[in-house]
Amino acid sequence: VRRAVVDIGAGKLANVADPVSSIDTAYSLDPETQKLDSLLNAVWEKMGSDRWTVGQLITLENCAPFSRLTAAMEEIAGETGRINARRLTRWVERQTGRIVNGLKMVRNERIAAGQTWQVIPTNSKNS
């Protein structure tokens, strides 16, 4: 079906767009995807591929209250001037494995301080 739609659009028989382009555009405009993109990039900038817990991210936020990381976490789990650790943890769990702009979050081992996570680069742009 995609091929037929692309051929119709290329032949100027109708004003239609490539369905895959439309899907990619909708994906990039999705608020959850935008939040994930902000968080992945902020964590990558601050932590690289080091492992971290949500508690460690919140501690970093307390040390740098006006950073990109702080803004990303507040967008996801901000509550009356603080970050809700439980809400942020649950959101991170739901986003595990999603690829946005070549980065994804993966779950690692559990330690005494909590579940550890890691942001890693991938070869794919979105998933």
pLDDT at residue 63 in the model: 74
What share of the chain in percent tops pLDDT 90?
Answer: 63
Q: pTM above 0.85? A: no
Beta bridge mates, 111? 114
Q: Round to the nearest angstrom and report the end-to-end CA distance of the chain.
A: 21
